[in-house]
Amino acid sequence: MRIAFAALAAVTLVAAPALAQAPQHVELKNNAGEAIGHAMIVDAPKGVLMHVEVKGLTPGWHGLHFHEKADCSKSDFTSAGGHVHDNPTMVHGLLNPDANEAGDLPNLYVAQDGTANAEIFSTFVSLRAPGKPQLADADGSALVVHASPDDHKSQPIGGAGARVACGEIR
């Protein structure tokens, strides 16, 4: 019995880091509620690593942000709230010299056939790890794709326009 318990404890200790790194699967839906892609997000040692695959979008660059609530219930996705932030001024933009919001991400490029496939790393947030804004906190967050590119400077959303796809992070 002691050996079995010790073996179980050892397996649990070895498996614990792997469980902490379990990826979060996020289904992306368009304004009509149709599934158009997904993202896989995993905690990395200094942020999150995300793989995004999407189809059915307008070709070109699209703003991409983490929003503050896991709520894509409204067709315009305003239910997801504003960008995830960790600064009191809520300054937007990766190119803004005054800082940026934790939800700011690089733009997503959609090919002529309406598909995008990208891997993105962000040092501004974590999925569940302490020390940074957590995407999978009590009310979750959302991954939102916008209609236009983000200029990474303009307030409040970099001119990224309407929200065209949304996925809930729990």
Strand residues in 22-161 grouped as ranges (E): 24-30, 35-44, 47-54, 60-62, 64-67, 108-110, 116-122, 141-146
How many angstroms separate the CA atoms of 145 and 149, rounded? Answer: 10
Q: In whole numbers, what is the pLDDT of the chain averaged over residues?
A: 88
Q: Average pLDDT of 99-107?
A: 91
**What is the average pLDDT across 112-138?**
95
Report pLDDT digits (tens) over 52-98. Answer: 999 999 999 999 999 999 999 999 999 999 889 876 667 888 998 88
Question: Domains in the chain, start-ordered, CATH in brackets?
Answer: 23-169 (2.60.40.200)
Residue 163 buriedness (CB in 10 A; 0-12 / 13-18 / 19+) = buried
Q: Are 108 and 118 in contact (CB under 8 A)?
A: yes
- What pLDDT score does 145 carry? 98
Q: What is the pLDDT of residues 15-27, one digit of tens each?
A: 444 445 689 999 9
